[in-house]
């Protein structure tokens, strides 16, 4: 199993985004949103991430990044596909 790391890219008072790293290669991202007693995450990974690795990513994220009061009660939506790029205003 490749080493899984989560690199924080942005944080607000109620949400955060991490890049998902497998052996130093970025393979996706996870957004976490917390409102009251609810914690919801959206995981987006490249098509090359297999089911076993994806299960481990979700398990490690829940264990290490979700606040303790929400751990084990996290609802996760998963997208798998290809990265098309980062888009924003033209310079």
Give percent of the chain with pLDDT exceeding 90. 74
Nearest to 9, CA basis, from 27, 24, 25, 31? 31
For the residues 30-42, what does the mean pLDDT come to? 93
Residue 90 tokens, joined:
């033209």
The pLDDT confidence band at residue 78, using thresholds 50, 70 and 90, is very high
pLDDT > 90? residue 60:
yes
pLDDT at 44 over 70: yes
Domain boundaries, the chain: 4-81
The CA distances from residue 75 to 24, 43, 45, in Å, are: 27, 11, 17
* Rounded CA separation 30/5 (Å): 11
pLDDT greater than 70 at residue 91: no
pLDDT confidence tier of residue 48, bands split at 50, 70 and 90: very high
pLDDT score at 23: 94
Range list of H helices, 1-91:
51-64
The whole-model pTM stands at 0.89
């Amino acid at each position: 199993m490749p080493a899984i790391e989560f690199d924080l890219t942005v944080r607000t008072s109620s949400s955060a985004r991490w890049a998902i790293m497998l052996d130093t290669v970025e393979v996706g991202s996870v957004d976490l949103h917390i409102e009251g007693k609810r914690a919801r995450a959206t995981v987006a990974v490249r098509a090359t991430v297999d089911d076993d690795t994806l299960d481990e990513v979700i398990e490690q994220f829940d264990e290490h990044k979700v606040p303790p009061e929400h751990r084990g009660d996290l609802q996760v939506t998963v997208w798998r596909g290809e990265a098309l790029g980062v888009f924003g205003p033209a310079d």
